[in-house]
Amino acid sequence: MSTAPRWTSTHAGSTPTELHQGALLATALEYANRGWHVFPLIPGSKRPATPRHAAADCDHRDPWCRNGHTGWEQRATTNPDRITRAWTTAPYGIGIACGPSGLLVIDTDTPKPGAALPAVELRGEATSGEGVLIALAEDCGEPDGLPETWTVETPSGGVHRYFTTAHLTESLGNSAGRLGPWIDTRGAGGYVVAPPTVTGAGRYLVGLDTQPEPLPAWLVQRLTTRPATPVGPREPRPVTHHSAYLRSVLSKEAQHVREAAEGGRNHALFIAACCLGELVAGGSLTEAEASGVLLDACAGHIAAGAFTEAEAWQTIRSGFRRGAAKPRTAA
């Protein structure tokens, strides 16, 4: 672990803005020294500062994109010279690309006021991501919960727990709701906002300053194995055994959600849930199958702050209810 002091920099000036910019630079360099790949976020935002265009709009004029579109994950770096050049230009927030950094971050959140509480099939009354995670650990035979690891407190009252993945044979991507309500994970293809970044919602703070621990085996199993479909009077076949038509429907609806543009993401999720809700009502899919596909598809939007995991659950449930009015089946 780096012994360099945090929140200090020789580049810092005397004004609050200059001091904050110096702290951002010093901390970005510290993260890089840990081997964590960082990239700049738009000041005051959780969005990447570069590239300034989507992959679909790439004209290859950006020097980074001459040989094909290059996104924030590919631009993330541990190079101190590049980091210094970037953070002396502007008080950029700090994003950490989880995949290249060998990290899996568990993000527990709190429900928004007035939001409906989803049913949690775990022991106890869990009304937040932290509560669900504790109950999940107990159900998995881990009464002591999670090991102490590098932890960040988010402005929304949530918690980011950083775990290393070097011991895994396969990479883990993002997930939304797979571990339970109000719990997301960020891995390959995902990023987290790191301290001391400040957004419109507030400041990200280090909660526990220690070495990140390896991701526990019971969490690896939960993140690599889908829950079994409950047995009922009309037990459908697993998704892998569905017809080509049904697999195509699932793939297309997931694609529509993933590719939804800013401002239309929640609507796209609702429409996709309506479509799959018709098939759920007709017995061709289970809610677990349909919601799993949709939650995975919108994980990137949750990471970008378009909506929370709890809001995504609420939108999917609303779509299922609407779709249930027009049940249909698929061969």
Domain of 307 in residue numbering reads as: 239-323
CB atoms within 10 A of CB 229: 16
Is the residue at 231 inside a domain? no
In this structure, the answer to whether residues 169 and 291 fall within a common structural domain is no
What integer best gives the mean pLDDT of the chain?
82
- Report, in this order, helix, strand and coil percent for the chain, each rounded to 5: 40, 15, 45
Is the residue at 200 inside a domain? yes
In this structure, the answer to whether residues 182 and 255 fall within a common structural domain is no
**What's CA 167's distance to the chain center, in Å?**
21
Phi-psi region of 186 (alpha: psi -120 to 50; beta: other; left: phi over 0): beta
In this structure, the answer to whether residues 176 and 252 fall within a common structural domain is no
At 261-308, the pLDDT tens digits run 777 788 889 899 999 988 888 888 888 778 888 888 887 777 666 777
Q: Are the C-beta atoms of residues 315 and 269 closer than 8 Å to each other? A: yes
pLDDT of 162 strictly over 60: yes
Burial of 62 (0-12, 13-18, 19+ CB in 10 A): middle
State how far the Cα of 313 lies from the Cα of 227, in Å rounded to an integer: 17
Strand locations in 187-291 (E): 191-194, 198-199, 202-203, 205-208, 213-214
Q: Are the C-beta atoms of residues 213 and 102 closer than 8 Å to each other? A: no
Is the residue at 229 inside a domain? no
Is the residue at 10 inside a domain? no
State how far the Cα of 17 lies from the Cα of 11, in Å rounded to an integer: 12
Is the residue at 272 inside a domain? yes
Q: Are the C-beta atoms of residues 122 and 180 closer than 8 Å to each other? A: yes
In this structure, the answer to whether residues 267 and 158 fall within a common structural domain is no
In this structure, the answer to whether residues 274 and 211 fall within a common structural domain is no
**What's CA 57's distance to the chain center, in Å?**
24
Q: What is the DSSP letter of 14?
A: S
Of 191, 224, 257, which one is at a domain's C-terminal end? Answer: 224
Q: What is the pLDDT of residue 113?
A: 67
Is the residue at 6 inside a domain? no
Look at the block and give the residue holding tokens 């909660």: 207
Is the residue at 4 inside a domain? no
Look at the block and give the residue holding tokens 């230009």: 89
State how far the Cα of 139 lies from the Cα of 48, in Å rounded to an integer: 37
Q: What is the pLDDT of residue 14?
A: 65
State how far the Cα of 24 lies from the Cα of 9, in Å rounded to an integer: 9
Of 224, 249, 271, which one is at a domain's C-terminal end? Answer: 224
Going by C-alpha positions, the residue among 303, 27, 315 that lies closest to residue 154 is: 303
In this structure, the answer to whether residues 66 and 130 fall within a common structural domain is yes
pLDDT of 193 strictly over 80: yes
In this structure, the answer to whether residues 154 and 185 fall within a common structural domain is yes
In this structure, the answer to whether residues 255 and 210 fall within a common structural domain is no
Which residues are registered as beta bridge partners of 192? Answer: 96
In this structure, the answer to whether residues 26 and 95 fall within a common structural domain is yes
Q: What is the pLDDT of residue 145?
A: 78
In this structure, the answer to whether residues 204 and 258 fall within a common structural domain is no
In this structure, the answer to whether residues 269 and 217 fall within a common structural domain is no
**CA torsion angle for 322, 247, 185, 54 (degrees, to 10)?**
-90
Of 190, 224, 258, which one is at a domain's C-terminal end? Answer: 224
Phi-psi region of 7 (alpha: psi -120 to 50; beta: other; left: phi over 0): left
State how far the Cα of 127 lies from the Cα of 12, in Å rounded to an integer: 42
At 95-123, the pLDDT tens digits run 999 999 999 999 998 877 665 555 554 44
Number of structural domains (the chain) is 2
Q: What is the pLDDT of residue 115?
A: 56
In this structure, the answer to whether residues 160 and 59 fall within a common structural domain is yes
CA distances from 118 to 115, 267, 269 (A): 9, 20, 18
Helices of type H across 155-216: none
Average pLDDT over residues 234-256: 67
Which residues are registered as beta bridge partners of 161? Answer: 106, 151
At 28-81, the pLDDT tens digits run 999 999 999 999 999 999 989 988 876 667 788 888 888 888 888 999 999 999
Is the residue at 203 inside a domain? yes
